[in-house]
Amino acid sequence: MKRNIRVPFLIVNPKAYIYGEETLELAKVCDALAKEYDIDIIFTAQHIDIQKVADNTENIIVTAQHMDGMIAGRGMGHILPESIQAAGAEAVVLNHAEHQLTITQLVKAMKRAKELELLTIVCSDTPEETKAIATLSPDIMICEPTSLIGTGNTSDDQYMKATNEAVKSVNKNILIIQAAGVSTGDDVYRVVMGGADGSGGTSGILNAPSRKGKIIEMLEALQKVKNQK
């Protein structure tokens, strides 16, 4: 059964910047904070770290950073969906700007994820691409211009409005993350009040003087949203 995501929520996406014990340490911080603030946190990890993270946390949504749309058998070097599920992943990110898929690859991967009841978190760039991907009915979409990823500059209001509307015009049940360039609690507050269901980031968290402090700042922004809605 798929994990239910409560809104608003946070995504902490370390990508390949950290691994091993450093990833586990950050995951434990997120796990404790998710319980303290009663806010869902999606936490992505390197495939090799998924089981360690899943075995040592209870509250975060442990998420793979990619998988392939394959079945058990041939596929040397590819990521078998059953393997990430067995390791403890409850969700998977697909089509990130740093690991883009063809439409055929994306459809296959989403099909396999749905068979295994893994949450699908699918990335898109332009409003046009966003609308097209929304027709595939992912559970969550990350809408972010590729050019802004890691820059510290957030998407402008026009882009967020256009992509939010593109998703909801196709399927109102798809949750939306706006996270490009997000690095502060104020950024998180702005994008969620602007219509997104969640936010978060990578460099804004990993490069902060205190990663825990930055996550708290973002969670407090989400708490503020909850109190105002």
**What whole-number distance in Å separates Cα of residue 53 and Cα of residue 60?**
9
Q: What is the reported pLDDT for 180?
A: 82
Which of these ranges, 54-58, 141-145, 206-210, has the smallest mean pLDDT? 141-145
Q: Is residue 2 part of a domain?
A: no
Q: What is the reported pLDDT for 146?
A: 74
- Structural domains of the chain, count: 1
C-alpha distances out from residue 149 to 44, 46, 69, Å: 16, 19, 26
- CATH classification of the domain holding 145: 3.20.20.70
**Residues contacting residue 20 through CB under 8 Å, at least 6 positions apart:** 49
What is the percentage of the chain residues whose pLDDT exceeds 90? 91
Sign of the Cα pseudo-torsion (161, 130, 122, 203, in order): negative
* Residue 69 CB neighbour total at 10 angstroms: 19
Q: What is the reported pLDDT for 149?
A: 58
* Residue 206 CB neighbour total at 10 angstroms: 17
**What whole-number distance in Å separates Cα of residue 64 and Cα of residue 127?**
25
Average confidence (pLDDT) over 54-80: 98
Q: Which residues pair with 64 in a beta bridge?
A: 45, 92
Please give the structure tokens belonging to residue 79: 């990521």
Q: Is residue 3 part of a domain?
A: no
Q: Is residue 192 part of a domain?
A: yes
Q: Is residue 90 part of a domain?
A: yes
Q: Which of 96, 115, 117, 165 is catalytic?
A: 96
- Our answer to whether residue 96 is catalytic in this structure is yes
Q: Which of 25, 144, 217, 220 is catalytic?
A: 144
Q: Is residue 200 part of a domain?
A: yes
Residue for token pair 């003087």: 209
Q: What is the reported pLDDT for 229?
A: 75
- Our answer to whether residue 144 is catalytic in this structure is yes
Average confidence (pLDDT) over 118-143: 97
**What whole-number distance in Å separates Cα of residue 181 and Cα of residue 72?**
37
pTM confidence score: 0.95
Average confidence (pLDDT) over 171-190: 94
- Structural domain including 171 reads 9-228
Q: Is residue 4 part of a domain?
A: no
Q: Is residue 18 part of a domain?
A: yes
Average confidence (pLDDT) over 65-93: 98
Report whether pLDDT(154) > 80: no
Average confidence (pLDDT) over 33-61: 98
Residue for token pair 């507050």: 189
Task: Band the pLDDT of 49: cuts 50, 70, 90.
Answer: very high
Q: What is the reported pLDDT for 152?
A: 53
Average confidence (pLDDT) over 91-95: 98
Q: Is residue 64 part of a domain?
A: yes
C-alpha distances out from residue 130 to 15, 89, 161, 163, 224, Å: 22, 25, 12, 6, 28
